[in-house]
Structures are given as structure tokens and as C-alpha cells.
């Protein structure tokens, strides 16, 4: 994980040094850059005459101190940009994550336990279509139908004039979250259903039934409970999907988040922004996997350490 984060940031860093745009602009405030003597001194001090590896480590050091540099395009400190835009993306991503995970678990459970039934067929159809439809298209379709034609929802962006609280803003959130959730759902359902199917055939389910337990209890306490573990891990590995999806959804709905930021940055080759955001994404994924590991050990007692009782 860590090597990955470093590798990505290293690639970008080195590539940015190859770009024609003077990287110095990104590390200092625009005011200081206007004086040429100042510039030369700064150049020396900021280590631009050092070998590239040293520069890279210095950059990392700065990042760890919280100094994220400045955007080439706008001159804004990147930390400000992040602070401004992160909440929007977090809202979107977390909501979609929770909704799609919960729904996929429930649907997967029903589909898996009623093999061949309606829910099963529905989930398979959803999965089949899901991989053939570009996710953002769902967003466009929803927008067109529900926002423009019927005015049930606002047509994009995060906030309308006059809205103050979160509840006010809620209508804005619904379509983007729905789009991202549906996209995730199509992918996750397959795994939850399979996990349930795998679990149903396990021996302890037979034991549970041999106790005379009602089917719902067998399904819930035994099947569902035990299919959660593997599913959690699978879901976690698909978290990056959320990031990719978020970028597109933010574009469709003009949602002012990090996805939008990075698209803009790429359009104008704003390397500093790209580097920081990439590093951020890598770290976020690292963190998320860590959380999943914890969740896994809670769900599966075998993962925890313990002695054998003889």
C-alpha cells in the first residue's frame, strides 16, 4: 500500500519536473515569485538545484508538514482547495457507499437464499446491464427524466440559493448519490449473492437447520452473519471504484468536489494539484483497507489470535 502511494506520487513528481511549466510557481506564493532576485534565492533554498530524488523527499516532507503547495492555475493554496472541496466529495462518496453496501447486502441475501426466484433474476439482470452501461449515463438519464422533465429534483450542483442546513440541501444530494449507488450496486450485488450462495451450502447451516430453527433465523443468524466477512473484504477492494465513479458523477451533476478538481487540474496540467490529490487518494485507500481489516477481524473470530482448548 505504502509503496503504491509513494510510487504514484513519485511518477507524477518526476513527470511534472519534465513539464515546461516552471515548478517553482507551485511551491511559493505568487507574490514572492514576482521578484527575480528573490526567485533565485528561493530556488536555491527550495532545493531546485538539488538532484531530483532529494527534491522528491523534500516535497514529501513538506506534505507531511501540511504544506501542500499552490495551484499553478489559480494560485490558491492547495490545502484551501482541498478544505473547500473535500466535504462535497465525502458527502457523495460516503452516502453512496453506505446505501449501496446496505442494499447490496440485503438484495444479495434475498437473491442468494431464493435461488431462481424473482430477486435472484433481478439481481442477475442488474449485474448484466450494469457492466454494459457507462455509469455516468445513468446520471444523465436520471437528470433528464427526474430533474428536467419533472422538476422533482434540482438540476445539479450542491446548493441552491437560500439553502442553509444539510436538510435543505438534501434534494441536491439525491440524484448524484443515486447514480453512484446504482453503479456500485450493480457490481456489489454479484459478490454478495455469491457469498450468500457459498455460505448457504456450508455444513453449519445444515446443523442450524437440524436444530429446528425457523428458516429466517437460519438465514439471518447463520448465513448472513457468515457471508458478511468475505463480502466486506470484497467491497473494500472495490472502494476505488467509488473514486472513479465520483469523478464522473461530479462532472455530470456539476458537483463541486475533489473529482471535479482533478478533472480541471488535468485539463490545465496543474501538476501540484494532481500530485497532492493522487497522494490523498492513495492514502485514503490505504486507510480504508486498514478499516476493513479491523472489520474483518471483528466479523471473523478465527482471524483473532487465541489458544486452542484441549
Partner 1 sequence: MINILELKDVNVSFAVESSNLHILRDVSLQVPRGSFLCIVGESGCGKSVTAQAIVQLLPDNGRVDSGSIKYFEDGKTTELNELEKFGTQMRSFRGAKIGMIFQDTLSSLNPAHRVGRQVAETLRQHLKLSKDEAKVRVIELFRKLGIPDPERRYNAYPHEFSGGMRQRVMIAIATICEPDLVIADEPTTALDVTIQAQIMTLLKNLQKSAGKSFILITHNMALVSEVADHVAVMYLGRVVEYGSVNQVLRSPRHPYTQALLQSVPSLEADKKIELKTVDGQTPSPADVTTGCEFAERCIYAIETCKNQLIPLLTFEGNHQVRCNRIDENGNLPKPNKVGINV
Partner 2 sequence: MNEKVTSTSRLLLNNFVTNVAGMCGLLVIFLVITAAIFAEQISGYDPNLMDGMSTSLPPSTDHLMGTDQLGRDVFSRVLYGGRNSILIGITASFFGNLIGTVLGAIAGYLGGKIDTLLIRVSEIFMTFPQLVLVLIFVTFMGQGVSNVIIIFAITGWMTTLRLVRSEFLSLREEAFVEADRAFGFSKTRIIFRHLLPNTMSPIVVAFTINTAIYIIAEAGLSFLGLGVPVTTPTWGNLLSAAQAPVVVEQYWWLWVFPAVAIITFVTGVNFVGDGLRDVLDPRQRTKSKSMTMSATLKEKFFGSRRQAND
Examine residue 293 and tell whether it contacts partner 1 (CB under 8 A).
no
Distance (Å) of CA 240 to CA 7, 78, 145, 223: 17, 22, 29, 28
Residue 148 or residue 204: which is nearer to partner 1 going by CB? 204
**What is the spatial distance between Cα 299 and Cα 289, in angstroms, rounded to a whole number?**
15
Examine residue 267 and tell whether it contacts partner 2 (CB under 8 A).
yes
Q: In angstroms, what is the minimal distance from the CB of 236 to partner 1?
A: 18
Helix/strand/coil (H/E/C) assignment for every residue in 156-211: CCCCCCCCCCHHHHHHHHHHHHHHHHHHHHHHHHHHHHHHHHHHHCCHHHHHHHHC
Interaction mask 122-161, partner 2, x per CB under 8 A: --x--xxxxxxxxxxx--x--xx---x------xx-----
Q: In angstroms, what is the minimal distance from the CB of 303 to partner 1?
A: 10
Interaction mask 199-238, partner 2, x per CB under 8 A: -------------------------------x--xx--xx
One of 117, 141, 206, 290 touching partner 1 (CB under 8 A): 206
Examine residue 226 and tell whether it contacts partner 1 (CB under 8 A).
yes
Distance (Å) of CA 224 to CA 13, 96, 101, 196: 46, 22, 14, 7
* 89 Cβ contact partners less than 8 Å away, ≥ 6 residues apart: 246, 250, 255, 257, 258, 259
Residue (of 289, 96, 78) closest to 184 by Cα position: 96
One of 82, 218, 274, 276 touching partner 2 (CB under 8 A): 274
One of 97, 153, 271, 272 touching partner 2 (CB under 8 A): 271
Give the residues lining the site for partner 1 (CB under 8 A): 115, 202-204, 206-215, 221-222, 225-226, 229, 299-302, 306-310
Amino acid at each position: 500500500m505504502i509503496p503504491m502511494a509513494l510510487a504514484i506520487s513519485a511518477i507524477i513528481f518526476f513527470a511534472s519536473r519534465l513539464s515546461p511549466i516552471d515548478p517553482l510557481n507551485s511551491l511559493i506564493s505568487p507574490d514572492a515569485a514576482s521578484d527575480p532576485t528573490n526567485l533565485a534565492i528561493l530556488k536555491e533554498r527550495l532545493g531546485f538545484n538539488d538532484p531530483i530524488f532529494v527534491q522528491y523527499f523534500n516535497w514529501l516532507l513538506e506534505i507531511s508538514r501540511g504544506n501542500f503547495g499552490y495551484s499553478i492555475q489559480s494560485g490558491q493554496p492547495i490545502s484551501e482547495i482541498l478544505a473547500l472541496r473535500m466535504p462535497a466529495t465525502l458527502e457523495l462518496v460516503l452516502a453512496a457507499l453506505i446505501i449501496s453496501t446496505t442494499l447490496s447486502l440485503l438484495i444479495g441475501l434475498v437473491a442468494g437464499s431464493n435461488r431462481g426466484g424473482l430477486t435472484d433474476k433481478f439481481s442477475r439482470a442488474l449485474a448484466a446491464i450494469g457492466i454494459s452501461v457507462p455509469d455516468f449515463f445513468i446520471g444523465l438519464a436520471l437528470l433528464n427524466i427526474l430533474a428536467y422533465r419533472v422538476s422533482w429534483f434540482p438540476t445539479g450542483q450542491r446548493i441552491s440559493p437560500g439553502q442553509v442546513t444539510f436538510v435543505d440541501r438534501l434534494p441536491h444530494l439525491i440524484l448524484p448519490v443515486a447514480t453512484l449507488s446504482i453503479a456500485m450496486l450493480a457490481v456489489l450485488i454479484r459478490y454478495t449473492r455469491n457469498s450468500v450462495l457459498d455460505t448457504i451450502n456450508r455444513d453449519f447451516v445444515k446443523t442450524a437447520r437440524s436444530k429446528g430453527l425457523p428458516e429466517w433465523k437460519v438465514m439471518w443468524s447463520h448465513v448472513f452473519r457468515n457471508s458478511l466477512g468475505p463480502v466486506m473484504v470484497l467491497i473494500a477492494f472495490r472502494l476505488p471504484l467509488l473514486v472513479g465513479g465520483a469523478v464522473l458523477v461530479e462532472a455530470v451533476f456539476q458537483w463541486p468536489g475533489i473529482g471535479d478538481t482533478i478533472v480541471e487540474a488535468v485539463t490545465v496540467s496543474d501538476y501540484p494539484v494532481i500530485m497532492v490529490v493522487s497522494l490523498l487518494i492513495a492514502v485514503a485507500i490505504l486507510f480504508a483497507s486498514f478499516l476493513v481489516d479491523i472489520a474483518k477481524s471483528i466479523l471473523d473470530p478465527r482471524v483473532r489470535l487465541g489458544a486452542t482448548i484441549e
